[in-house]
Amino acid sequence: MSMVDVDYKGSIMIGKEKHLRMYIGGEWVESQSKTVFATYNPANGQLLAKIARGSEEDVKLAVEAADSAFESSEWQSFHPANRGKLLYDIALKIRDKKEELSQLETADTGKPITQARADVEAAAKYFDYYAGVADKVFGETIPIEPGILDYTVREPIGITAHIVPWNYPIQIMARSTAAAIATGNAVIVKPAEDTPLTALKLAELIDETDLPNGILNIVTGYGQEAGVALVKHRKVSHVTFTGSVITGIAVMSEAAKNVTPVTLELGGKSPNIIFADCDMEEASEWVVKSIIQNAGQTCSAGSRLLIEENIKDEFLELIKVRMEKLTVGPGIEDSDIGPIISEKQFNRIAELVSAAREEGARIVTGGERVIIEGSKEGCFYRPTILDQVGPNQCIAQEEVFGPVVTAFSFYDESEALELANNSEYGLVAGIWTKDIGKAHRLAGKIKAGQIFINNYGAGGGIQMPFGGYKKSGFGREKGLEALRNYTQLKNVAVKF
């Protein structure tokens, strides 16, 4: 199947180009400005489609549609169990179109098709999971004194905005919108301008269900236009944002003007801590997986490797051998590593590695561009290990967002802990040891939102709360904990 031949209900053809419209109030509409932007396949530079370029005017229309739908008697009286049934229906539709969605995700992001299929299945699982809890959002009764019944209820917060990044577009859209709809909210999604295709296709599938018009809206466009307008709108009741620290700070600052709560997931510089008593074969396999998934363009990538000194050389050789066996190429060919999303991001990776070399880092393997015959426009980067890096150097502190891991050594548990916490981020950490006491001691002291012992889930499963400490952000997505983002607590006291 050619990527650009996928049919959308929201598409029109102008000449030989496919133009995709946005989804507002149950209708497929052009932007108010009638302008568009382009999305390209990062593997070969092929134009995939032109997309409606949303702006403040389009955001206003989306908020009006969401507000009308949320306040409607139809939605206010919609039984929670029926919300759950709708979410189950969406999950079924995602699985029915799994291959089509996977190919779109690979075309738009460049990731290997196997990883795209896993992302599509994860998206379906989010709708499954939150379908099951839609009618199980409970309040409490609180003992006060005789003659007073005091209880709490959790109510939907209202209109929720979801600003989705380009690295896992369908999965991250699903994880927050499913929780928001399950709890009775109306949602507006702003997908990344680099990767809007699966968000629009997902809207088409949802349009085929009984979800009332206006409960889901998609506004496509640039962050500085549509994204900013969405965050600033006074009727938006909550903002969920995944992206960079700089943009997250801007989102939080704008939202604060309306006292709008935010959930921020802002990336990481996550360590894998390798002790000499670990299963080195298994640890090396997962260390490599944790840095090459989606070409390292993953917030929870295991980008720092802390190795006990007496096994450092042996362990580095293990992961070097594994990395040098990996294939690099277009995602549709199911290579192990696909392209970097854009020339801009590729250049940033290359500049950070080059600067590290100038500061004395040794490249164990990788550190160069890969030219792929037939995909010369693609930005492919060989998986890279850097050694002899100081823990405070830029490459050891900055989120590279590419298949680059920096290696360090430690002598004992306390030094491992010091190195692990030597970061402004605190998203994920992996601990590899057969000493379960040592593992739990470290897990209790590492400042990170998710700790994996003898495994590395790169963000974990659907049920596991996910979020960070420090500059990795705040709030939690996934699992039951995410329901707190999209509900507000009301206390009622009745005297009798």
Q: Name the catalytic one among 225, 254, 265, 308.
A: 265
Tell me the CA distances in angstroms from 51 to 96, 220, 231, one per residue in order.
Answer: 25, 7, 21
Angle between helices 80-96 and 169-182 (to 10 degrees): 160
Is residue 265 annotated as part of the catalytic site, yes or no? yes
Question: Which tokens sit at 197?
Answer: 């295709």
d(C-alpha 17, C-alpha 50), whole Å: 7
Angle between helices 413-420 and 436-445 (to 10 degrees): 30
d(C-alpha 40, C-alpha 108), whole Å: 7
Q: Which helix (H) or strand (E) holds 47?
A: strand 47-52
- Please name the amino acid found at residue 346: F
Closest CA to 398 of 387, 406, 410, 407: 406
The answer to whether 395 touches 353, Cβ cutoff 8 Å, is yes
- Please name the amino acid found at residue 447: K
Q: What is the DSSP string of 230-274?
A: HHH-TT--EEEEES-HHHHHHHHHHHHTTT--EEEE-----EEEE
Residues marked active site are found at 265
